[in-house]
């Protein structure tokens, strides 16, 4: 659940300022334990929720996927609907002040973006391209395979990790490679 106070926060936070649980919290513990992590920011989950609400995406997506789900899934309609849904997300807007703050907070790139726990990366050469990559990352939740796996429900908003593209930390299962050493969240409390 998102708190009203979340909506007054910046759309991107340093790792140390994040209140997100899961991998962001794990990375905070690793950094506190001295792991040499690359500079990391967190895009809070509430931003994705706000993006969906302000662009009326739940209603638009409901219309796009009408007729896909029935006694069985119409795979041709699903493929067409998935393409259209991704296009709608990529063409939707963040509040201008959110986008401006996002770009202003970040130093020179390059950056990688990913969902916590995911190895799939989106890249941005600079802050503006990182913002575009964020929208592509959000749109990827509407790829046909993802929709088949999830079903017709809207995805639950999730935080996004944005990291300086220095090649680390790399996620391998529950382990992070940093500074030539292997760290595990379970080992750091």
Q: Which domains does the chain have, with CATH numbers?
A: 4-187 (3.30.1490.20)
User: What single DSSP character describes residue 170?
Assistant: E
C-alpha dihedral, 129 to 132 to 137 to 139, nearest 10°? -160
Q: pTM of this prediction? A: 0.83
Q: What is the mean pLDDT of residues 12-31?
A: 89
Average pLDDT taken over every residue of the chain: 84
- CB atoms < 10 A from the CB of 65, how many? 18
CA distances from 174 to 26, 116, 139 (A): 10, 11, 26
What are 39-75's pLDDT values in tens digits? 899 999 999 999 999 999 999 999 999 888 877 877 8
Residue whose structure tokens are 């939707």: 92
Query: Which pLDDT score is estimated for 189?
Result: 39
What are 132-182's pLDDT values in tens digits? 999 999 999 999 999 989 887 899 999 999 988 865 545 544 555 455 555
Q: Residue 43: beta bridge partners?
A: 160
Lowest mean per-residue pLDDT among 107-111, 117-121, 137-141, 147-151: 117-121
């Amino acid at each position: 659940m998102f708190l009203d106070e979340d909506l007054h926060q910046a759309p991107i936070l340093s790792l140390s300022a994040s209140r997100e649980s899961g991998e962001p919290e794990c990375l905070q513990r690793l950094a506190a334990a001295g792991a040499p992590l690359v500079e990391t920011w967190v895009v809070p989950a509430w931003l994705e929720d706000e993006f969906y609400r302000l662009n009326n995406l739940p209603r638009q997506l409901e219309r796009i996927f009408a007729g896909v789900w029935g006694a069985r899934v119409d795979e041709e309609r699903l493929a067409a609907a998935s393409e259209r849904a991704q296009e709608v997300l990529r063409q939707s807007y963040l509040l201008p002040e959110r986008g401006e703050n996002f770009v202003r907070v970040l130093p020179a790139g390059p950056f990688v973006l990913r969902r916590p726990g995911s190895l799939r990366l989106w890249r941005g050469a600079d802050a503006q391209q990182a913002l575009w990559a964020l929208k592509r990352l959000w749109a990827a939740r509407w790829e046909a395979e993802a929709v088949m796996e999830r079903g017709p429900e809207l995805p639950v908003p999730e935080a996004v990790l944005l990291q300086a593209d220095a090649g680390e930390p790399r996620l391998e299962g529950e382990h992070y490679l940093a500074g030539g050493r292997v760290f595990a969240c379970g080992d750091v409390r």
